[in-house]
């Protein structure tokens, strides 16, 4: 009996925890099923013949997005949007709603070759809604590596089909381009492609060398097919050494037409190891220089040839250049321009035809998304190196994606130790207190709320060296206040209210310095459309704070801060009552 009681005593707490966890899991499952049923009901009503029912359903879905778990709703809507035969009106309403929700998790989409064939056929359907649904479904299927190759094959065949109508071509061509980029970037081990004989390669090359007297549509189509097939074959690394000598032999032959020579030369050039030097300024991609590795290139008006003699995915070695000095440079990340502070370089390694073609496609995508990818790689590399940035790298931060660079700069405050800038620093950094102070200037100027958590932790932990007479501003506080003004985080108002009784000066050794608490109070009041002067705040103008949009202030009486806090507490109470009484 005693042993049983001891076992029971040991078992009971575990059983209670396990039972609670099981109950939570069942509750979660029930809630998810209820949400699914509710969403399905309102989506059905979106397709009602009656206008009033459609409008109520749309309003209910919007309200559901506000009061339910947004990710769960996003995933449910995404599943509906993947249905090819969804009506146009319902799709448009759900597409608009989806834009207000967080991105859904990648669905575990699967497909068969028969479904892919059906979806490609639906791109030529008479109904716009079905074409749109098929295009979206194909787009999502491309997220599966094993499906990229079969989708690419079918879209390519349809695009090269002379019978494709002009209207259908508007749907097929963008998807074909997207599928080809996904294919070029995918793992060749997932490809299932038939072998190609030397005779077939020679036939395609022969088609490109022949010049028809009438330049008929059939001839142009045959050449387009031959060119695409040769390019796709070059993407298969094992065929590069087979195609190259065939192209070279044809180019060395007699009586080759100049246009045919140009066509073949463009294909052959892809087989040479190459690289790209991108030029970005003010977050815009303004220039691209293609270079063959080991081959000097003297551009128009250039003083010296651009010449890199080796490159891999980590480092490129510059022999000579017009902006970059000889030496090693990082590949795949942002490089500070040595002469222009508002510009960066980005070196890209293109050792194979497949990577060269993938880069050409990627260049056509949105510059903002490419800058975000570049910023992510650059900041991840800096964090792996666990070091402070040099002056040129600090100056480069405003050229990167602002959201990602903000989060990185704040994180760097926590992961590296601060230090004064060396005396040999340029005039740009002279007079600033420290390395971390410069990061705070960037955050005060460009920072977003993605930096808030790490920045506030850095302030709490005193990660930024204190001001000096030469650099008198509390730049860590200035950065946080500036973000609270320009891009406040969700609980910024609560944070500001918690500072109101802080009398810390924002500027060292200045008798009329703006105070932290009064300035926070002014920001809080203005944020909620209240006049700081009415609460006893006195502006203490400062041009630096003005630049950052911070209303520097002092309290004109000891009671002024209490007045602001009373107003704030009353406002919070009224807001809480409003939430409780809302339907």
* Per-residue confidence (pLDDT) for residue 26, from 0 to 100: 38
Q: What is the mean pLDDT of residues 100-128?
A: 79
* Per-residue confidence (pLDDT) for residue 109, from 0 to 100: 62
- Could you tell me if residue 10 is left (phi over 0), alpha (psi between -120 and 50 degrees) or otherwise beta? alpha
In the predicted model, is pLDDT for residue 112 greater than 90? Answer: no
| Token pair belonging to 356 | 């060269």
Residue pointed to by tokens 């806090």: 565
In the predicted model, is pLDDT for residue 20 greater than 60? Answer: no
* Per-residue confidence (pLDDT) for residue 107, from 0 to 100: 55
Which residues, 6 or more positions from 276, have their beta carbon under 8 angstroms from its beta carbon? 288, 289, 290, 291, 347, 348, 350, 359
Q: What is the mean pLDDT of residues 536-546?
A: 90
In the predicted model, is pLDDT for residue 14 greater than 50? Answer: no
* Per-residue confidence (pLDDT) for residue 8, from 0 to 100: 38
**Confidence band of 424 (pLDDT split at 50, 70, 90):** low
In the predicted model, is pLDDT for residue 12 greater than 70? Answer: no
Q: What is the pLDDT of residues 289-315, one digit of tens each?
A: 999 999 999 888 888 999 999 999 999
Q: Which of 450, 456, 458 is nearest to 372 (CA)?
A: 450
Q: What is the mean pLDDT of residues 167-186?
A: 93
Which of 126-130, 167-171, 265-269, 356-360 is the least confident region? 126-130
Average pLDDT, the chain: 86
Residue pointed to by tokens 């081959």: 295
In the predicted model, is pLDDT for residue 156 greater than 80? Answer: yes
Q: What is the pLDDT of residues 456-469, one digit of tens each?
A: 999 999 999 999 98
* Per-residue confidence (pLDDT) for residue 213, from 0 to 100: 59
* Per-residue confidence (pLDDT) for residue 113, from 0 to 100: 85
Q: What is the mean pLDDT of residues 91-110?
A: 70
In the predicted model, is pLDDT for residue 428 greater than 70? Answer: no
User: 545 or 102: whose pLDDT is higher?
Assistant: 545
Q: What is the mean pLDDT of residues 64-72?
A: 68
* Per-residue confidence (pLDDT) for residue 111, from 0 to 100: 72
In the predicted model, is pLDDT for residue 380 greater than 70? Answer: yes
**Confidence band of 580 (pLDDT split at 50, 70, 90):** very low
In the predicted model, is pLDDT for residue 254 greater than 50? Answer: yes
In the predicted model, is pLDDT for residue 574 greater than 70? Answer: no
Q: What is the pLDDT of residues 218-233, one digit of tens each?
A: 888 899 999 999 999 9
Distance from C-alpha of 558 to C-alpha of 40, rounded to nearest angstrom: 59
DSSP 55-85: HHHHHHHHHHHHHS-HHHHHHHHHHHHT-TT
b/e per residue 18-51 (b: at least 16 CB within 10 A)? eeeeeeeeeeeeeeeeebeebbeebbebbeeeee
* Per-residue confidence (pLDDT) for residue 76, from 0 to 100: 75
Q: What is the pLDDT of residues 326-377, one digit of tens each?
A: 999 999 999 999 989 899 999 999 999 999 999 998 998 889 999 999 999 9
Q: Which of 116, 141, 127 is nearest to 91 (CA)?
A: 127
pTM, 2 dp:
0.80
* Per-residue confidence (pLDDT) for residue 6, from 0 to 100: 40
**Confidence band of 583 (pLDDT split at 50, 70, 90):** very low
In the predicted model, is pLDDT for residue 426 greater than 60? Answer: no
In this structure, are strands 284-292 and 307-311 parallel, antiparallel, or unpaired?
unpaired
- Highest-pLDDT range among 1-10, 141-150, 428-437: 141-150
* Per-residue confidence (pLDDT) for residue 431, from 0 to 100: 56
In the predicted model, is pLDDT for residue 403 greater than 50? Answer: yes
* Per-residue confidence (pLDDT) for residue 401, from 0 to 100: 97
* Per-residue confidence (pLDDT) for residue 582, from 0 to 100: 40
Distance from C-alpha of 309 to C-alpha of 294, rounded to nearest angstrom: 4
């Amino acid at each position: 009996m005693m042993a049983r009681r001891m076992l029971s005593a040991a078992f009971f707490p575990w059983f209670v925890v396990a039972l609670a966890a099981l109950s939570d899991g069942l509750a979660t499952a029930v809630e998810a099923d209820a949400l699914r049923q509710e969403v399905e009901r309102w989506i059905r009503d979106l397709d009602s013949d009656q206008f009033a029912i459609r409008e109520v359903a749309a309003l209910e879905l919007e309200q559901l997005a506000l009061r339910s778990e947004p990710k769960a709703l996003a995933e449910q809507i995404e599943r509906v949007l993947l249905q090819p035969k969804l009506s146009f009106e319902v799709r448009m309403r759900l597409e608009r709603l989806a834009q207000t929700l967080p991105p859904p998790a990648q669905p575990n989409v699967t497909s068969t070759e028969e479904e892919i064939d059906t979806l490609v056929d639906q791109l030529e359907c008479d109904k716009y809604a079905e074409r749109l649904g098929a295009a979206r479904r194909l787009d999502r299927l491309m997220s599966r590596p094993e499906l990229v190759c079969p989708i690419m094959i079918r879209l390519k065949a349809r695009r090269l089909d002379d019978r494709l109508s002009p209207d259908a071509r508007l749907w097929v061509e963008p998807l074909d381009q997207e599928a080809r980029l996904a294919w070029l970037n995918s793992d060749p081990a997932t490809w299932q492609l038939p072998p190609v004989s030397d005779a077939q390669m020679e036939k395609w090359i022969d088609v490109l060398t022949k010049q028809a007297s009438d330049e008929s549509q059939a001839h142009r189509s045959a050449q387009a097919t031959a060119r695409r097939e040769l390019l796709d074959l070059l993407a298969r690394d094992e065929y590069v050494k087979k195609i190259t000598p065939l192209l070279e032999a044809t180019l060395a032959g007699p009586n080759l037409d100049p246009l045919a020579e140009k066509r073949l030369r463009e294909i052959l050039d892809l087989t040479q190891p190459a690289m790209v030097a991108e030029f970005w300024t003010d977050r815009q991609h303004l220039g691209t220089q293609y270079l063959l590795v080991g081959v000097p290139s003297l551009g128009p008006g250039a003083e010296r040839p651009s010449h890199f003699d080796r490159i891999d995915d980590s480092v490129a070695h510059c022999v000579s250049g017009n902006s970059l000095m000889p030496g090693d440079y990082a590949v795949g990340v942002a490089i500070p321009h040595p002469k222009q502070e508002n510009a960066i370089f980005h070196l890209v390694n293109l050792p194979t035809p497949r990577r060269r073609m993938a880069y050409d496609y990627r260049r056509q995508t949105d510059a903002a998304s490419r800058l975000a990818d570049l910023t992510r790689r650059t900041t991840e590399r800096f964090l792996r190196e666990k070091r402070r940035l040099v002056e040129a790298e600090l100056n480069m931060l405003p050229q990167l994606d602002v959201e990602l660079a903000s989060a990185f700069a704040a994180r760097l405050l926590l992961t590296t130790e601060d230090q004064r800038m060396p005396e040999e620093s340029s005039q740009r950094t002279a007079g600033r207190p420290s390395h971390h102070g410069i990061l705070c200037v960037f955050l005060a100027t460009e920072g977003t709320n993605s930096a808030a958590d790490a920045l506030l932790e850095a302030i709490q932990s005193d990660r930024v060296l204190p001001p000096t007479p030469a650099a008198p501003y509390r730049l860590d506080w200035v950065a946080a206040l500036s973000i609270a003004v320009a891009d406040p985080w969700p609980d910024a108002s609560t944070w500001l209210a918690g500072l109101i009784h802080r009398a810390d000066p924002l500027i060292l050794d200045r008798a009329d310095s703006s105070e932290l608490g009064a300035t926070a109070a002014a920001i809080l009041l203005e944020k909620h459309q209240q006049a700081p002067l009415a609460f006893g705040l006195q502006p203490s103008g400062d041009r630096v704070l003005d630049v950052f949009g911070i209303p520097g202030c002092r309290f004109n009486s000891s009671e002024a801060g209490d007045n602001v806090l009373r107003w704030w507490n009353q406002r919070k109470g009224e807001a809480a009552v409003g939430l409780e009484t809302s339907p």
